[in-house]
Chains A and B, each alone.
Chain A
């Protein structure tokens, strides 16, 4: 699959998520399951004090912040914590639409080191939409306490994207995370996300439909992923996509700020 994202259409899409690219060099999305310490990572990167807490769904307002790394300004968007991007809940739609349509220069997926399997589910789904992903294996200190070891090199090879182990509460691994994000955002590092292989019936269906999807969306959207959503019968995504393709119309996704999830 490789990197399918070129700069085509990027500026117009950006305008839809107005003000995003105005005063910064790169836009970075922060995704992750609830309770992975995503807000703590956000705070550690931006130096902001977004409210953190140990209960699911805490980040109900999308937060934004920015940081400077090697004289470039990175704008960080904290997306709602979700288990998946599939089930059409408002939170998941916000996260998915942002990654899909706002096309961040890189997406950090925060995963919980003590519960990797469950968290990789989301990471794999994000990687189906965008290849420009950095996996942040957070809560590594908790994992050590629970005697869990994670081979991040192997994980990186297996997923085809950079991986860093962090303990955002103490700041461990944060410099490395910034470095990797910068590498991915300015394309110094080419990621090679490994696609999920589906069962034969699904792959057959993809093979039948994907060429026609590609003919319509070209390289602007990952056609394999979109084909899967069509097979899923995700009418809402198709609707949003329609508006997106018929450029000029604005996409009714949440504006920056707080009135989003109405």
Chain B
């Protein structure tokens, strides 16, 4: 079983499966509503020229999340 990491630690071009959203409150709801439910495959597309935020392909839409927000999503890298 592959190791658990957070969404912000993955490099561009890599894929991961969502394990758990560890945020609380509104941020948690937002992340879930974006489709980051357990089992979802996420692709890391790119980083902003300034390094933050990071753009992900989440269920077919390109969505940018700030690093600290992405850091609240636990994932396991997917090959």
Within 8 Å by CB, do A and B touch in the complex?
A: yes
- Interface residue stretch chosen among B2-10, B27-35, B71-79: B27-35
- Could you tell me the distance between the alpha carbons of A83 and B59 in the complex, rounded to whole angstroms? 12
Q: Is B26 an interface residue (CB 8 A)?
A: yes
Q: Is B51 an interface residue (CB 8 A)?
A: no
Interface size on A, residues (CB 8 A): 12
Q: Is B61 an interface residue (CB 8 A)?
A: yes
Residues on the A chain within 8 Å of B13, using CB: none
Q: Select from chain B the residue with minimum beta-carbon distance to A86.
A: B33
- Could you tell me the distance between the alpha carbons of A222 and B61 in the complex, rounded to whole angstroms? 31
Residues on the A chain within 8 Å of B60, using CB: 114-118
Q: Are B34 and A83 closer than 8 Å at their CB atoms?
A: yes
Q: Are B61 and A87 closer than 8 Å at their CB atoms?
A: no
Q: Are A87 and B35 closer than 8 Å at their CB atoms?
A: no
Q: Select from chain B the residue with minimum beta-carbon distance to A35.
A: B61
Residues on the A chain within 8 Å of B34, using CB: 83
Within 8 A of A (CB), among B12-38: 26, 29-30, 32-35
Instruction: Name B35's contact: one of A88, A89, A116, A118 (CB within 8 Å).
Output: A118
- Could you tell me the distance between the alpha carbons of A116 and B60 in the complex, rounded to whole angstroms? 8
- Report B73 CB to chain A, min CB distance, Å: 16
- Report B77 CB to chain A, min CB distance, Å: 23
Q: Are A117 and B59 closer than 8 Å at their CB atoms?
A: yes
Q: Are B29 and A86 closer than 8 Å at their CB atoms?
A: yes
Q: Are B29 and A88 closer than 8 Å at their CB atoms?
A: yes
Q: Is A59 an interface residue (CB 8 A)?
A: no
Q: Are A115 and B35 closer than 8 Å at their CB atoms?
A: no
- Report B35 CB to chain A, min CB distance, Å: 6
Given known pairs A118-B35, A121-B35, the reply for A87 and B59 (CB within 8 Å) is no
20 A-B pairs with C-beta separation under 8 A: A83-B34, A84-B33, A86-B29, A86-B33, A87-B26, A87-B29, A87-B30, A87-B32, A87-B33, A88-B26, A115-B59, A115-B60, A115-B61, A116-B60, A117-B60, A118-B35, A118-B59, A118-B60, A118-B61, A121-B35
List 12 other contacts, CB 8 Å, given A87-B30, A87-B33, A117-B60: A83-B34, A84-B33, A87-B32, A88-B26, A88-B29, A89-B30, A115-B59, A115-B61, A118-B35, A118-B58, A118-B59, A118-B60
